[in-house]
Chain A
Amino acid sequence: MKNAAYLIWCALVLCAFAYSNVYGYVYNSVIASQNPASKAANRYHK
């Protein structure tokens, strides 16, 4: 039962991995902490 649930989990994770690669989803710390105080951004938004 638990292994069947894990099998489904593996399938979902692999699908998410494939989807993220096809549509260019990435996760890294820079994106996670996108800096709203970016000087260029501030200047642009002014």
Chain B
Amino acid sequence: MVTDNAATPGVKSFQCPACGGAITLRAGSQSLTVACSHCSSVIDTADENYQIVATSKMKERPTLLEMGLRGTLFGTKWEVIGYTEKCDSSGDYHWDEYLLFNPYAGYRFLVQNQGHWNFVEMVKEELPSYAGRVSTYQSEGLTYKLFLSDSSRVLYVKGEFYWKVRKDDTVKEVDYICPPYVLTIEGSGQDIVVSKGTYVEPSVIQEAFGLNSADMPRRIGVAMNQPSSYQGNGKAWGLFILATALALALYIVFLGLADKEKLAQDSRYFTYADKNRTYSTPSFTVKKTSNILIHTFSQVSNNWTEVAYTLVNDETQKTYDMLTSVEYYFGTDSDGAWSEGGTSSRDYIASAVPAGTYHLLYEVDSGYMTSVYGGTNSVLTGFEVIRDVASGGNLIWTFLLLLAFPLFTSLRQGSFESKRWSQSDMGVNS
């Protein structure tokens, strides 16, 4: 017995020819196949006699989105009318396809795969003969990359469908991606359909259909068309280049503006007798808050000199200490000539030294300053105290601080894309 549901136009009801249970067609005469919710038999609804296409011993099982559930997605109210569970050719990889219906907007699909969701609509596109066989495909001004070429098999059906569906139906499938979109070419020969999926955040689906967060499948890995939150870091690199250029320009300006004022200097031969002897410079004036650099030099040759400095503020007695060494070694070995170190060093003794009067204490020790050293027991050592010298170290720190963000996002983006393409049979791409 067939009845038209007067309360809901387009809705049609009949009895299952296999079990006699009541079946309601939510999309009315547009549905060509329906799976009985009582006995799971698949029935051809285009046939006047409601012929059974396939019988099933499987009981209907619950699905996350139940048949008849309604939700508003992208401004349209959709009703869930069909469900298929599919798997790939290996049988290891399963996904859910829900058929949505709206009497005015037609049909759409919601595909759930490892907690990732796609809203899919059919594309009325004339396919060139090479479609499905090339590595990139152009559509609507977008370039899609070939991601997967496989087949899909229907494992389970529930609800009604606008095409003739049955368990174990197998179809060839080629996926091209351009996140957040996926273009799927299904079928072969003349019977080819193209669909376009758009990645949807699970929270959007949850809200649209009023689902409990505990029921939502956990998102695993990266979906083939999942947009990366680190995408578009080209702008960050652009900003980095601009900021680095600005920092460099500032450094050049500060190099030019730096006073580089020499405050004190000394140089003398230090002997064994000078060991543990502390010398002092005359007092000098630091005119304004600035850094103070000491340039130390010592005539060492395959030897070392160490100088301990203490800068003392005459008024406050505040001190700044520094121990510096000058070492220069050279020679030849089986690889040829080698050398390391040098005869001078440049070190900042203090940062942002307040204006005032200071003197410098220094004490020298050296490998030369021994009582018996091959006849040579002195070393010429000296220094210059210079105020306000632009620091290259600050420029390097600035560069590193500017680099951190774009470098981090690029590494994350690389890792994200690597996870995405690890699922592709096209190998790693970008």
Chain A contacts to B: CB under 8 angstroms: 2-3, 6-7, 9-10, 13-14, 16-18, 20-28, 30-31, 34-41, 43-45
Q: Given A24-B388, A28-B393, A35-B322, are A17 and B398 neighbors across the interface (CB < 8 Å)?
A: yes
**Bound Cα distance A17, B324 (Å):** 26
**Bound Cα distance A1, B402 (Å):** 17
B351 within 8 A of A: yes
Write the nearest CB–CB distance from A45 to chain B, whole angstroms: 7
For window 258-297 of chain B, which residues contact chain A by CB distance below 8 Å?
276, 278, 289-291
**Bound Cα distance A22, B288 (Å):** 10
**Bound Cα distance A23, B395 (Å):** 15
9-residue interface stretch from B126-134, B141-149, B189-197, B307-315: B307-315
Residue of B nearest to A39 (CB): B308
Contact mask B333-359 → A, CB, 8 Å, 1/0? Answer: 000000000000001111111000000
Residue of A nearest to B363 (CB): A40
B321 within 8 A of A: yes
Contact yes or no, A3 B236, CB < 8 A: yes
Contact mask B232-260 → A, CB, 8 Å, 1/0? Answer: 10011001101100110011001000000
Residue of A nearest to B292 (CB): A24
Which residue of A10, A14, A41 contacts B321 across the interface (Cβ within 8 Å)? Answer: A41
Number of A-B pairs whose CB atoms are under 8 Å? 127
Contact yes or no, B405 A30, CB < 8 A: no
Chain B contacts to A: CB under 8 angstroms: 232, 235-236, 239-240, 242-243, 246-247, 250-251, 254, 276, 278, 289-291, 308-310, 312, 319-324, 347-353, 361-363, 365, 388, 390-391, 393-395, 397-398, 401-402, 405-406, 409
Residue of B nearest to A32 (CB): B351
Interface of A (DSSP majority class)? helix
Contact yes or no, A44 B394, CB < 8 A: no
Closest 7 CB pairs of A and B: A24-B290, A24-B291, A10-B243, A38-B321, A35-B323, A26-B391, A21-B254
